[in-house]
Amino acid sequence: MAARWQTARVLDVRDETPNAKTLRLRLDAPSPHLAGQHYVLRLTAPDSYTAQRSYSVASAPDGTAEIELTVERLPGGEVSEFVHDVVEPGDELEVRGPIGGWFVWPGDTPVLGVGGGSGVVPLMAMLRQARRSGRSDLVRLVVSARSPADLYYAGELPGPQSTVVYTRHSPPGAARPPGRLTATDLAPLVRDGETAYVCGSPAFCDTVTDLLLGLGVPVDRIRVERFGPSG
């Protein structure tokens, strides 16, 4: 059955980075999701003009009527700028979902997640699910961020399951100098029988896919979700 539009009440708005906010929403009815799925958020102006964008669910599946969506602010973005400048707790938004059946994790198989920038969002749902279920051994994440200030979920992401690669500015004392993700970063984390989930810009996804193929990951074990600069 196709996902329907429903009303979601904003419970909380919090900063993730200077350019990203996470919305905690309560739906009018539970809509169980899988890690990796997304919701469409729709805004309607007084003159009935509408704008809508898709945002990955950041929260782990828990069977409740609450979800979290993380929204990156994009210059000129109709939806993202409204979320950042206007939306506050108590507001109501229209959402539709959950949507997606390809880039999803069932929660019981080994995963290598590789995310660039905001591409970490659906992967964070996988990590949160694994930690919550006591199966954190199943998930390994590699996250590429420009600098520590640009790292999403900085207070929660770090741990034995995650590796952060900084491309422009590393924190003081970092063993790895800043630079783009390489095969050397990925090689120690590749395991037989796992599925690789790659999310980020088209260029990032293409580069990571080539690196994984070069490391022997079968093409049918690589799932990719690209996003563009729609706001």
Mean pLDDT in residue range 199-223 = 97
The pLDDT of residue 230 is above 60: no
Condensed to tens digits (0 to 9), the pLDDT of residues 214-229 reads 999 999 999 999 987 6
Spatial separation of the C-alpha atoms in residues 200 and 144, rounded to whole Å:
9
Q: Are 72 and 151 a contacting pair, CB within 8 Å?
A: no
Q: Which residue has the higher pLDDT, 75 or 23?
A: 23
Q: What percent of the chain has pLDDT over 70?
A: 97
Spatial separation of the C-alpha atoms in residues 193 and 172, rounded to whole Å:
36
Domains annotated for the chain, with CATH where assigned, are 5-99 (2.40.30.10), 111-226 (3.40.50.80)
Spatial separation of the C-alpha atoms in residues 150 and 168, rounded to whole Å:
10
